[in-house]
């Protein structure tokens, strides 16, 4: 098993443009709080509550109710990125990929490409692009999500990188063939 240091070295080799600092994610979340500080606190509370209801409805399989809640949240605070991001997820689950992409673009624009909402938006957009066979566009979206701290985006980039996939395959084969720790290999 690779150590954390080994993983950091491999990450840097295969993805030099991807940020690997754990403090980066915390900084992004602080930026999100600052961005939301400009909203009326009562409207922010209401939209956050509506989004939570929408997420619960989507998790329960009621996508119509989820979309209704996200629409209400967007009507209250149309300049807040989070509801667009959540609505995009519900639209994608409903099969409306075109509208989902529109909402993701709105969320990314409103978030100015920073913070947790942007991180999620880049990952969601990358997944849709990958499903549509747009590998290069998906790679760019995942790189942006990874740069904002998404571990999932990093994993997707590794899966898309043929050199990393080959390295992982060779490492797995080596691990299967090597004797367990403490045992010596006999001929």
Per the structure block, which two tokens stand in for 90?
Answer: 């519900």
| Residue 161 domain boundaries | 112-173
Among the listed residues 139, 132, 69, 75, the one whose alpha carbon sits nearest the alpha carbon of residue 101: 132
- Look up the pTM and report it: 0.70
Q: For residue 70, what pLDDT is reported?
A: 98
Rounded Cα gap, residues 174 and 187, in angstroms: 17
Does residue 64 belong to any structural domain of this protein?
yes
Same domain, 58 and 87: yes
Same domain? 102 vs 88 = yes
Q: What is the CATH number of the domain that holds 73?
A: 1.25.40.10
Q: What is the pLDDT along the chain (187 residues), one digit of tens a residue?
A: 444 444 554 445 444 454 555 444 455 455 555 455 578 889 989 999 999 999 999 999 999 999 999 999 999 999 999 999 999 999 999 999 999 999 999 999 999 999 999 999 999 999 999 999 999 999 999 999 999 999 999 999 988 887 766 777 788 888 888 766 666 555 4
b or e along 95-132 (b: 16 or more beta carbons within 10 Å of the residue's beta carbon)?
A: ebeebbbebbebbbebbeebbbbbbbbbbbbbbbbbee
Is residue 101 located within the same domain as residue 122? no
The alpha carbon of 43 is separated from its chain's Cα centroid by a whole number of angstroms, namely: 26
Q: How many domains would you assign to the chain? A: 2
Q: Are residues 127 and 147 in the same domain?
A: yes
Q: What local confidence, expressed as pLDDT, does residue 103 receive?
A: 98
Residues 91, 141, single domain; the answer is no
């Amino acid at each position: 098993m690779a150590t954390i240091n080994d993983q950091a070295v491999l990450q840097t080799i295969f993805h030099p443009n991807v940020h690997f600092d754990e403090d980066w994610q915390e900084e992004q979340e602080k930026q999100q709080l600052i961005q939301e500080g400009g909203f009326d606190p009562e409207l922010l509370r209401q939209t956050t509550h509506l989004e939570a209801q929408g997420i619960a409805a989507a998790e329960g399989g009621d996508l119509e109710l989820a979309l209704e809640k996200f629409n209400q949240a967007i009507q209250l605070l149309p300049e807040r990125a989070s509801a667009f991001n959540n609505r995009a997820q519900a639209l994608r689950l409903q099969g409306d990929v075109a509208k989902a992409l529109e909402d993701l673009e709105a969320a990314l624009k409103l978030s100015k490409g920073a913070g947790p909402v942007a991180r999620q938006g880049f990952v969601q957009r990358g997944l849709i692009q990958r499903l549509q066979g747009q590998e290069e566009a998906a790679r760019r979206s995942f790189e942006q999500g990874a740069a904002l701290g998404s571990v999932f985006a990093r994993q997707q980039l590794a899966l898309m990188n043929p050199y990393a996939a080959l390295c992982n395959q060779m490492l797995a084969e080596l691990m299967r063939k090597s004797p367990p720790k403490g045992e010596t290999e006999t001929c």
